[in-house]
């Protein structure tokens, strides 16, 4: 049983590392200093745009629902 737990934890860790390395903004050792700073500064921007898109979809959905309720 312990071997299965250990194997599962190692597989999970490797999957997480591979997923992180395939990210466009992953900082690689061969990146120049400018590219490293750029990637590190773009991560929060990407997160903000991600949540902005979610908020926009919710806003449009609520607006369409409101228009449907008012017109009925």
Question: What pLDDT does residue 69 have?
Answer: 94
Domain edges within the chain: 32-72
Question: What pLDDT does residue 65 have?
Answer: 96
Reported as a single tens digit per residue, the pLDDT across 28-64 is 788 889 988 988 888 899 899 999 999 999 999 999 9
CB 25 within 8 Å of CB 39: yes
Question: What pLDDT does residue 30 have?
Answer: 86
| 30-42-21 Cα angle (round to 5) | 45
Distance CA 47, CA 15 (A): 22
Local confidence band at 1 (pLDDT 50, 70, 90 cut-offs): low
Stated pTM of the model: 0.59
Distance CA 29, CA 24 (A): 14
């Amino acid at each position: 049983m312990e071997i299965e737990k250990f194997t599962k934890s190692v597989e999970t860790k490797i999957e997480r590392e591979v997923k992180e390395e395939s990210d466009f903004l992953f900082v690689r050792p061969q990146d120049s200093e400018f590219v490293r700073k750029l990637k590190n500064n773009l991560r929060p921007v990407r997160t903000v745009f991600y949540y902005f898109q979610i908020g926009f979809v919710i806003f449009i959905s609520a607006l369409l629902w409101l228009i449907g309720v008012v017109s009925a």
